[in-house]
Homo-oligomer: A and B are copies of this chain.
Amino acid sequence: MESAEQKQQAGRPGRVTAAMVAARAGVSTATVSLVANGKTAGRVSEDNISRVRDAITELGYVVDGIGSSLAKGVSSIVILVAPDISNPFFAKVIAGVRESLGPQYQLLLSVTEAGEFPEADDVRRLMSLRPAGLLVDAPNARFIEDLASPSPLVLLDAPGLESYAPSVNLDVASGARQLAAHLAAAGHREAAYVDSVTGTETFAVRRAAFLEEAAARGINVDPERIISTTIDVGTAASAFAAAWPAWQRAGVTAVACGTDTHGYGVLQEARVAGVRIPDELAVAGFDDLPYSATSNPGLTSVHLPATSLGQKAGEQLRRLMEGKALKPGGVTLETSLVVRGSTAAAQG
């Protein structure tokens, strides 16, 4: 009785092993493994297949992920590394990834402080889980080099880093140029730029493309009018509050922001400070988050296809993990300017 009771207690957590299934079906654990993994083709008799299947259902057997991973040398985990999980833009990327990855891979999120990339130590700990694949969003070159991942790797929104790994990019430069052109056409001549502190390539490209096109079209953006903050409404608002008096004196009539979130901060502070948008100051961002359509006023923004970004990246990674070839050349998704009230009025 003692041992029977113990067994029952131990069995409570319901850990059913391949050995139990094998015993029940009257086969070896090797056969159970073959059936459970669908590798029966020409290797297991119909008879044993159904025997094992029945036993699996009756006992409620699920292949143990840990044991399986150890034997295979790789887990079913896909790690998603991103510097900025708090950006709602990111929630859509995640949804896209999840969709294209399918149910057999588990998504593990490497979350860090806003705008910070994980340290080498964090990454090592993660790699010790033997991930099936890695997805890295908006990285910088140093991080990719430190990573030196032996696992399949796909980069998201990593302009200029295509040589390190297959990438899915956004044509943010094109959107940035459209924005500069739009502001120039509206008559702006003195502008400012609110950047992200992340130090990632995508933000560098956004800024460079904007500045270049602005210069080409006669918009002046003095270097001291480029400020950087974390991607956070409150922080951006404070930074803008500190910078605005000088900008105003310099005749600034437009401010471009690296993300919509920065833009909301500017909008918020502008309201507090009584700066009229867009009459006194035009504001624009990147992301085209849902809230940009309902903000006050609506925020002009470079639309970035977040869900597609995640989907495409998930697809590419899946091909890699399954050992299939990737179409060469990488993927670049279009961006486009969405004009709203925050830049609607013409200026002189």
Chain B min CB distance to A61 (Å)? 10
A230 within 8 A of B: no
Q: CB within 8 A of A66: which of B69, B87, B261?
A: B69
A291-B295 CB under 8 A given contacts A125-B103, A130-B66: yes
Contacts of A95 in B (CB 8 A): 85-86, 111, 114
Chain B min CB distance to A338 (Å)? 14
Q: B94, A111: Cβ atoms under 8 Å?
A: yes
A63 within 8 A of B: yes
A144 within 8 A of B: no
A108 within 8 A of B: yes
20 contacts between A and B (CB under 8 A): A12-B150, A13-B150, A14-B150, A66-B75, A66-B129, A67-B70, A86-B91, A86-B92, A87-B91, A88-B88, A94-B111, A98-B112, A103-B125, A106-B108, A106-B129, A108-B109, A271-B294, A294-B295, A296-B296, A296-B298
- Which residues between 128 and 174 of chain A lie within 8 Å of chain B, taking CB atoms? 128-130, 148, 150
Chain B min CB distance to A249 (Å)? 26
Q: A108, B77: Cβ atoms under 8 Å?
A: yes
Distance between Cα atoms of A284 and B195 in the complex (Å): 32
- Which residues between 265 and 317 of chain A lie within 8 Å of chain B, taking CB atoms? 267-268, 271, 289-291, 293-298
Chain B min CB distance to A79 (Å)? 9
Distance between Cα atoms of A130 and B67 in the complex (Å): 10
Distance between Cα atoms of A175 and B225 in the complex (Å): 42
Contacts of A66 in B (CB 8 A): 66, 69-70, 75, 128-130
Contacts of A70 in B (CB 8 A): 66-67, 70
Contacts of A46 in B (CB 8 A): none
Q: A233, B290: Cβ atoms under 8 Å?
A: yes
CB closest chain-B residue, reference A69: B66
Chain B min CB distance to A105 (Å)? 10
Distance between Cα atoms of A128 and B107 in the complex (Å): 14
Q: Mark A69-104, 1 if CB is under 8 A from B, else 0.
A: 110000101000000011110111011001000011
Q: CB within 8 A of A124: which of B62, B69, B290?
A: B62
CB closest chain-B residue, reference A291: B291
A222 within 8 A of B: no
CB closest chain-B residue, reference A95: B86
Chain B min CB distance to A27 (Å)? 21
A30 within 8 A of B: no
Known: A62-B128, A106-B129, A271-B294. 13 other contacts (CB 8 A): A62-B125, A66-B70, A66-B129, A70-B70, A90-B91, A98-B111, A103-B122, A106-B125, A261-B290, A264-B290, A291-B291, A295-B295, A296-B297
